[in-house]
A and B are shown apart, each in its own frame.
Chain A
Amino acid sequence: MRRATFIAACIIAAMAILVPVLNLWVPADSALHIPDHLVPLLGKYLCFAILALALDLAWGYCGILSLGHGAFFALGGYAMGMYLMRQIGSRGVYANPILPDFMVFLNWKDLPWYWYGFDMFWFAAIMVMLVPGLLAFVFGWFAFRSRVTGVYLSIITQALTYALLLAFFRNDMGFGGNNGLTDFKDILGFNIQSQGTRAALFAATALTLAAFLLMLQWIVASRLGKVMVAVRDAESRTRFIGYRVEHVKLFAFTLSAVMAGVAGALYVPQVGIINPGEFSPANSIEIVIWSAVGGRGTLVGPIIGALTVNAGKSYFTAAFPDAWLLVLGALFVCVTLFLPRGIVGTLSEWWEKRPQRTAAQAPVASMEAAQ
């Protein structure tokens, strides 16, 4: 498994170079050229792959089935969106140097305090991780300490994202209400629409995914990673050998939320908008489906799942716009029934089963010998 992860990380890192090169420097009439519209689309898929990987840390490795990970993704996205809004400056429709257009439209006079600092990239970058991380930490601290598990936990995570959906729809929250944040101009001084910036954003996304993949490989191979799996498989047993299960879960859940926030922050400049729809409960459920299809409890699986399901989604929503949800539902049912370990899980199981086990039997005899 470790080998597969390193190979995957190398492929993804190579894409960070290859895709920009094939887009920017290979002539448009070449068969190898990657058309402009494809770059942000691929970048979007990779953001979803990061998100699926993040969920897998919590669900696949630690058994926390979060149905609210879309919320952490959206919060990271909003933090980045706030930075991008403030970059617009006086170029907005109302040409207000400080207030974003929607605030001027609402007749607001002052910037709300929670928008302070977002004119600085480093501040926004910290918030991208801090806000989802803090929410997950506080939420998890109460939930895991009170030993809320299984379906109950899944339901309250759904409730969490639904509550945020409703809150962000309100205009007086100060996040652009229904329309969200959009019409971005620059990121770090570069035109967000230019092909060079888009290629750079793609590369940043691919490198982030590769880095997260290696980080998670290190974590799951550590003793803590083994403890997470132990918590997933036999929570009370883990407790009875002296581990603080709630701390282990809190670590996995919080780190996972931070990763989801980073995915959201990379997503927003590439799609050019963030709105409350990202908090919709259905989005969070889709993340679970990506991970399940690819293979939860493996690191490469969720990435493959996110890429294939979203490529399928792009195809189906164009070819048969009404059929997508049915296809997605059918896919989930089929995977649950026929590939319960997902694509990668099933493949690796098949791989491991090939060499016949030769482990000796007659355990009584061996124990007798030991005594």
Chain B
Amino acid sequence: MSDPLLDVRDLVVRYGQVTAVDGVSFSLAAGETLALNGPSGCGKSSTALAVLQLRRPDSGEVRFEGRELTTLPEPELRPLRPRMQPVFQDPYGSLSPRHRIRDAIAEPLKVQGRWDPEKGPARVAELLDRVGLDPAYGDRRPHELSGGQCQRAGIARALASDPRLLVLDEPVSSLDPSVRAGVLNLLADLQDDLGLGYLFICHDRAVVRHVADRVIEMREGRVTSG
């Protein structure tokens, strides 16, 4: 078997006295969806932040594309960060309210020094189209979009960095029911076409059963099954 895209061993995250994640291990292959399921406060979001190294874990290993991240100093981590992108629950919260959608999508490329003034705008239009938004939406600001449209824009922004792994934290939980299925279908299409690995955090069992290749149940910081 080839190396997993992501391999997490004995992950521990503490906040003061509280152990939010208590020895969690799992691995995830490219093109695969692994769901983390459990009630609120079970440690699934803390696990996500630790995988992304947005919160450095207190102990344990996070191996991504074969490299151990927890011991990497920030400068060495920086070039790897674009390859693992978060998509959060609140679609409005993850896009700056002042920026046009097109600038929000271009921003990671500019920050990474990969922005090409010639081809960039076409790339942004292509990304919008890829997530099912008319490129004309690029001119709008987040509050001019519906929740579902905004979440699609957030996904386009994540894709701009050519990631291998998306860490999706309740990506459809705050959407209107009639737009949820469309966003889940989009995620399925992107995975089929791009071979992305998904760490899919979700409290809704029906959604989890539908999207996940494998499910890990968490409770009080520990894996209870999976």
Do A and B bind? no
Give B residues with C-beta under 8 Å from A: none
